[in-house]
Amino acid sequence: MGHSLTAGTPPDLNNVVALSRSVIPLAQISEIRLYLAEYTKRFAFDRDLPADLWPFALEAKGFGGTSVESVSGVFSTSDPGRDLEFSIRVSANEFRGKDDRVSQTVETLAAFVNGTVRGDRLRMIDDAAAIETASASAITFVLDESHISRLNECQAAAVVVNAKIAPLINESTPYSLIVVTDTQDAFQKLLPLFRNVRGRPERGISPRAQISSTARVGENCFVAPGVCIGDDVEIGANCDLYPGVVIGDGCRIGENTILHANAVAYHDVVIGNNVIIHSGAVIGADGFGYRFTNGKFEKIPQLGTVHIHDDVEIGACTTVDRGAVGPTVVGAGTKLDNLVMVAHNCEVGRHNVFASQVGIAGSSITGDYVRLGGQVGIRDHVRLNTGCTVGAKAGVMKDIPAGETWLGIPATHESEQKRLLVTMKRIPDFRDDLRTLEKQIAAMSTEIEQLKELLSKTENSIPRRAAG
């Protein structure tokens, strides 16, 4: 679909643009742009467009004065209509506080996630929700076969499924299906269209932040009121420091890193690029190191530091203690849930995932891609090798080989724990069998005593011959 242009006039994108076979208002394309980063569309024009008009800003009506960040265009000479191809880029910050809901057809949403439709293509969708709470105009999703039965009471207008699950759903269902390759990925792209997604705050340093004269803050950062930045700190570009954040002397923070309200980095901590640290987290507090001497505990100086590598996310109120000598390390891509404790001199590998309330004692090491369930406890100086998994509440007392799954207290290989579990489930039966055996043994013992008495009486009743 094209829009007629006049030489010297910017193209009017405030009406509609084409998305696959469907039509969407520009404001909604802009909302989508928040997640796709770039869109390319063609617009027919009547005359040559002067080059000095490019790039230019466009006003998107209905978006509170939002402007498109940049627009560039190139001529396509192969098209008889001399279409002009636009690349539209929109800043994520432009969409903070947008309350308007998207209302689109199933077909439009399917095109957005490269899916196919089974059922009514023109049904309108204005919300996304879980299966149990989805309304008659909402879209929901099913991740695996075990959840198909939950659709029996579902009121949703459309359901996102993958190609494996779609054939298992009755053709006569009242809802439409959007069939995709990756259900979770598709739904994650659709969900923000129906939510008020707040972008990052406006760039700038508050005059009410306390920043040392020797600290260096990179370009395009947000530093909120109440932030405290110590001496000799270096902070990279595009970082966000929310109210109450404290950065100790000598810290090094990379680019695109976010520290949420009241997060604290003690002195000389190193934090990489693209790191997210949530509220109340404390990085670099002293490790729990003491020695017992002369009848009391004496503190061991904790003179190491903490290195948080790139792309790490640290949950609220999680603590990573500094090393006693060298650094405590959290490897690239690792995700720590809320209330996790990483003790001094631990070395956490790359792309680990720790659920809430995991505790790792000092000098323990994990390889890459290690997964720990909630409330797992790891003793000191233990090594969890690459790719191993530990189930929730397990207590790990010794090294775990690569790729194995361990469960229980004390933790052992899952096969052994499963045998123990099966045995434990049979304990009531064993108890009943034991009681039956005890009763049988008691009855047998009574019979034996009775037989002894009878035998004794019989022997006494037999006349004995006199000797000689």
Residue 44: Cβ-neighbour burial (10 angstroms; 0-12, 13-18, 19+): middle
Rounded alpha-carbon distances, angstroms, from residue 354 to 127, 202, 319, 331, 394: 32, 32, 13, 13, 13
- Determine which one of 3, 278, 309, 344 is catalytic: 344
What is the C-alpha separation between 12 and 93, in angstroms, rounded? 22
CA distances to 94, 198, 240, 274, 386 from 201, in Å: 10, 9, 8, 16, 38
Q: How far is CA 162 from CA 117, 129, 173, 309, 412, in A?
A: 11, 18, 16, 35, 36
Residue 445 tokens, joined:
């013992």
438, with CB counted inside 10 A (0-12, 13-18, 19+), is exposed
DSSP-assigned letter for residue 369: T
Of 267, 367, 356, 350, nearest in space to 311 by CA: 350
> Is 344 part of the annotated catalytic residue set?
yes
Residue with tokens 């299966």: 131
- CB 132 within 8 Å of CB 150: yes
Known catalytic residues? Answer: 344
